[in-house]
Structure formats: C-alpha cells, structure tokens
Structure 1
Amino acid sequence: VNRNFLVFSQRFNGGGAIIEKELAQGQRGEVKMAVKSREMGSEIFKIPGYRFAFAVQRPIFRSANKTFEVEITGPDMLKLKGNALNLIGQISSVPGVHSVRPDYQCGNPELSFIPRREDAARLDMGMQEIGDVIESLNAGKYLGEFNDQGEPIDFVLVQKKDGNKLSLDDYRSLPIWTDEGLMTHLGHLVDVEIESGPARIDHIGTDRAIKLTVQVKKDVAMQLVIDKVEKEVLVGARNDLGQEYGLRIGGSADELASTEKSLMNSFAYALGFIYLLLVALFSSFLRPFIVMLTVALAVSGSFLGITWNNLYQRGNILEILKEWKIPNAEAMAADWNWITFDILTQLGIVILAGIVVNNAILIVHQMLNNIKSGMEEREALLVSCQTRLRPIMMTVISSVFGMIPLAFGEGAGTELYRGMGTALIGGLGISTLFTLFLVPVLISLLADMGFHTRKEDLVKESLEAPVSSN
C-alpha cells in the first residue's frame, strides 16, 4: 500500500488506500486488489451506518458499476418502504450479490394529521374545513388581495408568533368552533403523529417507486445473479404484494436483456445467411447441414474452453493466495471466475459461427471438384481429406496462436477480451478436431443411405448446337 487516506466533511466521511502502480498490474495485482478490498470491507462493515466504495481501474467499453435495479411501485409510500427493507435482507443473502443500496432517503421529521372521519361527520365538518384550520395554524391561510394605491398586498390568516413552538399536546388541544357554535378540539377530529418523511418521492409512470441498486460481485456473471434474485426472492414477494403494487428488475438488467436479444437475433441471422450461401455453393439443400454441424461443435468447444481456462486460472490464483498466507484461500479461489459469459464472449461465439464452417467447406468443396474431374465418390472424399489437411491445420494453428494473447494476456484492458479469446480458441480447437473426422464420416453415411453425388449431377451437358458447314 502506497498510502492510506481519510476524508471528512459535513455529509460524507470515508477513507481508502492507494496501492503501488507496479503492484496493481497483471493477475497478481488484480488478486491483490480483491484481497485488500475484502480486508477493508470486513472491518468497515462493523461500523454502524457506514457507507463505502472501492475505486478500481475502469475497464474499456464497460460500465464501472456492475449493478442492476429492483423497482418497487405502488400507492402507499410507507408500505413501499417496509417492502424495500424486507427485500434488502433477502437479496443480500443471494450468492453473487455484493451489496444492496436503496435510493430511499429519510428527510426531516414531519407531522401527519390523519382525519377521524366519523367524529368529523358528527360535527358536520368536512376535510376541507379541517385542512384550512391546519393550514392557518402552520403556513397561514391565504384570504385575498388588497390593492393599496396600485400595490397588491396579500391578506393571510396566520397564528400569532410568540417565539414558542407548538407541541403535540398544543395541536391536540387546539379549540375549534363549528358552524353551529359547538366547540371541540383538533385532537378529536384528527390523530397527530410524528413521522420521518422521504427526502424525495420518485415515480415510475404514475406510481410512487423505490429503487434498490444491487451491486454484483466482480467475478460473477450479472445475468446469473439476476436469474437467482428473480427466482429466489421476487417470485415469492410478488405473491405477498397486492395487485396495486409492482415488482420488477430494471436498470442495467433491461439493457442486458435487450443486448442479449439482439445478439441471439444476430446469431440466428448469421446461421441463416451461412446456410443460404452454402446452398448456392454446393447446389444442394442437404450438404450444407453437414457443414452447419460444425457450428454446434464450435459452441460446445467455446464453453469447454471457458470452463478449462477458469479452472486453470483458479489454480494460479490459489498459489498466489497461499503465497500471501490468505485465510480460507481455497474457498476464495473456488468462487473466483476469471472469465464470465459476458456480452463480448457471446459476440465471440457469433463470430465463431462464420469461422469454423470454413474447414468443412474446404473438405466438401474439394470433394465435389474431385468428382467433377472423374474420381469415384469415396476416393474423391479420401483425396479431399488428404489434400486439405495441411491448409486447415495451418489456418487453425495460426488463428489459435494469434488469439492466445487475448485469452491469457495481462495488463490494462485485457479483462475485456479474455472471454472472447477463450471462446474462439476453444471453439476452433474442438470444431477442427471433430470436423476432420466427423464430416467425412457423415458424407460416407449419406452415400451408404443412397444419397450419392455423381459427376453427371455436377457437370452440365453442353447445350451448344452443332455448327453447320456451308
């Protein structure tokens, strides 16, 4: 630690630590930051009412706050506050949640005058008359305007100011005369209570709302935490709320859902365009399905690559933690996800769909060319695999080695591309391994089932008419 610091002001007290720049770089630096944050948090959490935040390097093209919001809407602000307090405890216990912060802030104490409608009705006093009395007692009641030689003067009925503040008993014992000349007290018409009102009242649409900001742990995928909160907390809470109240996940979760939907649509469009291009290339509706099978293998390989890289990095992180003699190092390393299935990782899988089909295209297209040249179908397939093996391996090896820095590199901004690089390496490796064996097997299987490819089907007869001699 370079130095510690404290900040004191009228509305904020806090502190922190600045780590040496050289020690905060690379994997060891990232682990050190997490360990230091955990140590400071465990101590600061013991201070009642203390709010804190840890400042870390902001990734490129990504929000520094890994948060989403839980929105509670309804007509009664007090009930919204009670439900929000219950949800804070339940959401905080969900694995992967770092903290939950409400946007509801208590303001200054206020007096609430709750009418006793039955007692007021017996004295033939309406809510408007009671409101006029309370308004005159506190802020003053506007009666009209007097024009004094062109200068308007407001007439306001106010209480005589004597420097003494009214107590609750003074409000309750305030005498009031009705239109019939009967006297009663304000405490007979209303219940006077002291409450703490909100500093502000937010609205979503026309409904009052309280928002809970949920901070997700850095090494946990946000969508996974959102699904857990929805299933374990919000489903049961909605059953306890009335029909007038709403409970939903918003904020960054809406943006994440919209982005994932766009990526899924892009992936579907990519598969569709690839299939149509293959149909035009092979002049067949059946052969493209063999090539498209490599996409499924690539997606499986990308997940295997992410899982393997996480296990590998957890081993490295565990060695670092043991070197520093951190308590519960095994548990801390086991919960560490070096790579998460974020938006860029999903984008890498979309890119993968257009890359992995190239290997199968080379095999099938060369086989068709061999058949055109007069080879028998199985011989053409064997020669195609032999001649295309080297180009396929050269392409895959160069691509994998080119993406190794993305998956395993250290430094500023590398956390952005870890998932994409790992997904591309895993998808290319697994799909290539299976493509070299699975594609020829499937083509041979189709031939055994009677779906043969003949030279006559590929080479068109000449349609030129014979030239007549004069």
Structure 2
Amino acid sequence: IAISLLVSITVIPTLTTLLIRLRPGEAYVPGILHRTIMRPLVIFGESTARAYARTMKFLLAQGPRHTVMKIGIVGAVTGLLFWSATILPERDYLPFGNSNMVFMFIEPVAGVPVAQNMKYIAEFEKELTRMEDVDDNFLVFSDRFNGGGGIIKPELASGQRGEVKMALKSQEMGQRIFKIPGYRFAFASQRPIFQSASKTFGIEIVGPDMLKLKQTALELIKKITGTPGVHSVRPEFKFGNPELRMIPKRMNDARLKMGIPEIGDIIESLNAGKYLGEFNDRGDPIDFIFVQKDQERLGLNDYRNLPVWTEEEMMTHLGHLVDIEVAAGPARIDHIEKERSIKLLVQVKKAQPMQTVIEQVEKNFLKPVRKTLTEEFGLRVGGTADDLASTEEALLSSFFYAVAFIYLLLVALFKSFIRPFIVMLTVALAVSGSFFGIVGNNILQRHNILGILKDFNAPNPEALVQDWNWITFDILTQLGIIILAGIVVNNAILIVHQMLNNIRSGMDERKALELSCQTRLRPIMMTVITSVCGMIPLAFGQGVGTELYRGMGTALIGGLSFSALFTLFLVPVIISLITDLGIHTRKADLVKDSLAGGPPPPASSAGVPAQ
C-alpha cells in the first residue's frame, strides 16, 4: 500500500502527462476499443450514471416530503444492518482445512493385551488395504496413543469435490470402526491442518470426590453424544483398572481408637512399605522401612483376616475396621489448580460452527447439571473454547482501535466531528455486507454440494447438506472484516471531500453535494469493481490451501459490494438530511480570511448554525 501510494503521486501523473496530450479546448476522442468491442459496456455505464444522477437529484431535493423520505431510507438501512447480524453463522476458531488423512481414535478396554487389540482390528486393516481410494494406512497401539489413520489419494481430496469426499470417507470409516468389538469407544475424523483447529473443546469437571466426578462425566457423555453437531465425546480418564477399595467402619474404628491415618499406615506398609526414619550407624545414615517379610501377594481374605494390634494392646482384624470391596479405579488422577478433575473432549463436526455446539451444550446440559452439584464441585467449558474467547476478544479490541484511529484521522482531515462520523457509517455497512456475503455464499455452495453428494450416491444428501456451512465465521474471516474498516471509508471520503471542494469554489451546498455524487460515481465504481474482481479467486478458488482464505475473501467481497452500493445513496442522503435539519456547511466555514483574498462572504441566513 505504501509503495502504491508513492507510485500514484509520482509515476502515474508523469505517465499521464506523457501519454495523454490534449491541447486547451481539445475534446478527448475515444479509442477504437471504446467505439467497437467495449461500446455496449460504455453505453451501460453512461445509462447507469444518468439514472444515478436523476435518482440523487430526486432524493436530495428540499421539502417536508423529501425529508420524511430520507428519514425512512435511513431507518430502513438501519433495520437491514440489525437484521444482518441475526443471520450470521456462529463463531468458529481456526479454519479446519482439507487434509487427505482420516484419523482414527480407538480406546481399548483396560487390561486387554496389545496382541488381542490388534486381533480385533486386523479385519478392518485388511479392508483398508483393499480400498481403492486409500493410498496408505497405519495403526498404532501404545501406552500414550491407540488408533490409526488412512491417507486418501491426493487427487481425490482436492477442490470442492475433494472436501465432500473426505467428509463422506470420515463418516464411512467412523461407522465401520464403531462396530468393532473390544473397545470402549472408537471414532474417525478428518485430520485438521492446524493442531489447534481440531474443533474439539473440553468440559472440565473438578471436585474432591472422584466417584462423583466419574458419575457426572458418564451422565454428560450419554447426554451430549446425541446433540446435533457433535461428532463424538471421549473422556480423558480410564476407570478400568481393578483395585481394592477400603471403606472405614467408623463406629468400630472409634471404639478401638483407630483413625484413618493409622489404618492407612498399615495398608501402606503391606503394599509399598512404610518409611520409619533414619538410623545413624557411625556416620552412615541408614533408612528404616517397614515392609512385608515374604513379599507374597495377598488375597482378599488375607486382607480381611490380617491381625491388627491397637495402642491398648487389643487385637482385631483389618476386616473389622474396614469394608473391603473389589472395584475399578482410575488409571491416573488429573488435577486442575490442586483439585481433582476429569476432562471430556467434545469433537464438533467439521461443517458445524463450534460456538453453536458450545452454546447448546452449555444451555441444555451443563447448566442443569451445575444445579445438582454442591459448591465444592465445578463444571466449565475449556480447552479450545478458551482460545476462541481470548482470540475474539483480541480481534474485537483491534477492530475498535482501528475504527477509533481512522475516525481521529478524518477529524483532522475534515476539521469536523460530524462529517467523519458520516464517513464511519460505511464501516457498519461493510460489516453488514460481509455477513450477507457469507450467508449468500453458503446458500450458493450448498446447492453445489448437494449435486456432489448425489454424484457420490451419499445416503440422504438433503439432510447432510442442510447444516453444511461452506464458509465459517472463523478467525481469518473476522480478520477480513477488520481489514474492511480501512478500505471502505475511501468511497465516502471521495464524496464528502469533493462536496467540500465544490462549496469552497462558491457552489450552493445542495448543488455541491449533487455534483459530488455525479462526479465521484465513476472512480468509486472503478475501485470497487477492481477490488472485488481481485478477491474472486480468494473466495471461489479450488486450489490447494484456498479453503483457508475463502472466508476472508467472501467477507471482503460482500463488505465492499454492499458498502459501495449503499454509500452512494446513504451518505448523500444523511448529509442532505442534516442540511434539512438546519446544520449547514458554508463557504465561510471552510475558507479562511487569509486564503479567501478578502473579507469572508456573507452568511446565507442569519442565525443558522454551522457544522
């Protein structure tokens, strides 16, 4: 932009002087292209200019009827702005992309050997190798990760057909591995291009009672799984490990003066050994640890019949002090800020905005569950949801800073607070236009996707395409709206600045505004048309990586088009309405005495407030 500014004020005027040589009074003769091939376009442009001039002459006329009509136009556009915010898709995080890998997540039942898990999935592995559209596949079973993936042939995964193909392939593989026995859960999902763009948010449950956390987590898994837009719900905990659970018999313990610490020391000594202290043997420290003599594995009855001596030299058995149960416990216990926690990972479908699913889960499930929990328990949405909230907050702050900075620059340029405010209204028009552009492109692309689904013989294609958002309101799309703030104000600046120049030359205020609209129509339309044409490949391109920026391109096209269309009408109408209300812009307000070459011209009417 900086280089183009230097070129426009240096190189362009020089080339114009060299290439266009007109003598004083000489008329410009159109070239051969304008007289032949481009003639229909020239006629259309001239007709449009004449129609626009007649329309503005009518709208900017003075009178009570015209004033009411201007108020109606401003009100209608304001209503349109508010309505556009209601049809916008919900917010999303980073674009998902279109990688050619389908990732499979498999969680075996605790205690099942790896060889047995491999045996369960061996038949599906053979199916993967026989699939014509799968280029390669892999399977991994380890302590940290269990799963695999299928790599689709790159030529089948490119473009819009490729995105639909990957969505159907993910669904196909997910349905197949879900039927494999021997696993706690299994699902397949297309791999995102960004690690943080996996469209997965977490639900964090914290509290002191691990069993209560487990019960709450299992209830939420059952409820959230059927929510529209949810691909899968998987826990980050394992409760398959067998354990002996010892529950104190408090009445017996109190009678024998045996507390939980004493019972805990006994059990610890039997299983892991109990550190008693340190003995100094001639300067050499020796640790004393109380351990079981034979290190034999104890059975359930061995624990119950274990003799225990109290401080009062009374003998009892461990089974008299505690109830011993065989249960399943967690493989590990996670903590959030020193509190025990269980985390659920909710995978959102690729075509669904993550914010929509988060709001549904929060409203329908988390709020009712919170009412059943005591104060010592906590339940919140975290993970990617926190990243989305913080990033949106930063973008919103950047947007407001950009708007405020532009407004202050315009105040310095126009030496007024009202005229820059009129120019800044185009930013609201651009934001609204970007919303319409996103919604319109989604409607257009759903029709194309429906045809592709039918070509692939997908079951129930109408239901699949109903909620398919080709353009999501992700972070890059929101960044495009911020970029719009610095672009769209140029059109309004042209109209307002030219009107002020006309007034300085002595022209009547209304005539100056009308002439400004007529003379600025061509440069505004030239700028907008070239900018929109430059953004078309960004919004509708089918090459590799275009899925990242099509939201930004769509927002820019919609914002530029909508803003330019309404700027040509709304800005002049607002300026004329302000004039009708008695706030005038006079030559005496714009030209200083030293520049006017004499005394200031008399005011058109006494007592008229100036802008």
Give TM-score scaled by structure 2 length.
0.71
Could you tell me which residue of structure 1 aligns to residue 193 of structure 2? 58
Residue type of the alignment partner of 1:138? N
**Structure 1 position 104, deviation (Å):** 0.9
Instruction: Tell me the matched-pair count.
Output: 463
**1: CA distance, partners of 2:380 / 2:191:** 30
Could you tell me which residue of structure 1 aligns to residue 371 of structure 2? 239
- Matching of residues 416-455 of structure 1 within 5 Å: 416-455=548-587
8 Å contact kept, 2:422–2:571: yes
SS at match of 1:63: helix
SS at match of 1:339: coil
- 5+ residue gaps, structure 1, are none
**2: CA distance, partners of 1:441 / 1:147:** 96
> Is 1:137 paired with 2:270?
yes
8 Å contact kept, 2:173–2:188: no
Residue type of the alignment partner of 1:84? A
Query: C-alpha deviations, 1:251-306, integer Å up to 9, x for none?
Result: 12112111111111112122222222222222222222221221221111111100
> Is 1:32 paired with 2:165?
yes
> Is 1:119 paired with 2:252?
yes
- Matching of residues 311-322 of structure 1 within 5 Å: 311-322=443-454
**Structure 1 position 16, deviation (Å):** 4.2
**Which stretch of the first structure deviates more once superposed, 119-128 or 13-22?**
13-22
8 Å contact kept, 1:14–1:52: no
SS at match of 1:210: strand
**Structure 1 position 188, deviation (Å):** 1.0
> Is 1:178 paired with 2:310?
yes
Could you tell me which residue of structure 2 aligns to residue 388 of structure 1? 520
SS at match of 1:220: coil
Match of 2:511 among 379, 382, 386: 379
**Which stretch of the first structure deviates more once superposed, 3-12 or 449-458?**
3-12
**Which stretch of the first structure deviates more once superposed, 216-225 or 234-243?**
216-225
Structure-2 change in CA distance of 1:156 and 1:347 (3 Å) = closer
**2: CA distance, partners of 1:26 / 1:32:** 10
8 Å contact kept, 1:96–1:217: yes
SS at match of 2:247: strand
Could you tell me which residue of structure 2 aligns to residue 402 of structure 1? 534
**Structure 1 position 461, deviation (Å):** 0.9
Match of 1:21 among 147, 150, 154: 154
SS at match of 2:593: coil
Structure-2 change in CA distance of 1:126 and 1:235 (3 Å) = closer
Could you tell me which residue of structure 2 aligns to residue 358 of structure 1? 490
Structure-2 change in CA distance of 1:425 and 1:201 (3 Å) = same
8 Å contact kept, 1:67–1:214: yes
Q: Percent identity?
A: 69
**Structure 1 position 121, deviation (Å):** 1.8
**Structure 1 position 357, deviation (Å):** 1.2
Residue type of the alignment partner of 1:183? M
**1: CA distance, partners of 2:580 / 2:287:** 102
**1: CA distance, partners of 2:587 / 2:354:** 55
**Which stretch of the first structure deviates more once superposed, 112-121 or 420-429?**
112-121
Could you tell me which residue of structure 2 aligns to residue 325 of structure 1? 457
Structure-2 change in CA distance of 1:379 and 1:180 (3 Å) = closer
Query: C-alpha deviations, 1:379-400, integer Å up to 9, x for none?
Result: 1112111111111011000000
**Structure 1 position 358, deviation (Å):** 0.8
**Structure 1 position 250, deviation (Å):** 1.4
> Is 1:302 paired with 2:434?
yes
Match of 2:209 among 76, 101, 104: 76
**2: CA distance, partners of 1:464 / 1:41:** 79
SS at match of 1:452: coil
Structure-2 change in CA distance of 1:464 and 1:395 (3 Å) = closer
**1: CA distance, partners of 2:563 / 2:142:** 61
Could you tell me which residue of structure 1 aligns to residue 219 of structure 2? 86
**2: CA distance, partners of 1:174 / 1:181:** 16
| Aligned-residue CA RMSD (Å) | 2.4
Structure-2 change in CA distance of 1:191 and 1:433 (3 Å) = same
> Is 1:108 paired with 2:241?
yes
Residue type of the alignment partner of 1:389? L
8 Å contact kept, 2:174–2:189: no
Structure-2 change in CA distance of 1:355 and 1:141 (3 Å) = closer
8 Å contact kept, 1:4–1:15: no
Residue type of the alignment partner of 2:391? T
**2: CA distance, partners of 1:128 / 1:379:** 94
SS at match of 2:156: helix
**2: CA distance, partners of 1:448 / 1:147:** 101
Query: C-alpha deviations, 1:167-190, integer Å up to 9, x for none?
Result: 222211223333444332211111
Structure-2 change in CA distance of 1:465 and 1:414 (3 Å) = closer
Residue type of the alignment partner of 1:135? E
- 5+ residue gaps, structure 2, are 1-132, 599-611
Residue type of the alignment partner of 1:65? S
SS at match of 2:472: coil
Query: C-alpha deviations, 1:422-457, integer Å up to 9, x for none?
Result: 011011111111111122222222222211111111
- Matching of residues 256-295 of structure 1 within 5 Å: 256-295=388-427
**Which stretch of the first structure deviates more once superposed, 112-121 or 452-461?**
112-121
Structure-2 change in CA distance of 1:373 and 1:172 (3 Å) = same
SS at match of 2:323: strand
**2: CA distance, partners of 1:264 / 1:440:** 29
SS at match of 2:204: strand
Residue type of the alignment partner of 1:215? Q
SS at match of 1:276: helix
8 Å contact kept, 1:146–1:152: yes
**Which stretch of the first structure deviates more once superposed, 301-310 or 255-264?**
255-264
8 Å contact kept, 1:175–1:183: yes
**Which stretch of the first structure deviates more once superposed, 283-292 or 240-249?**
283-292
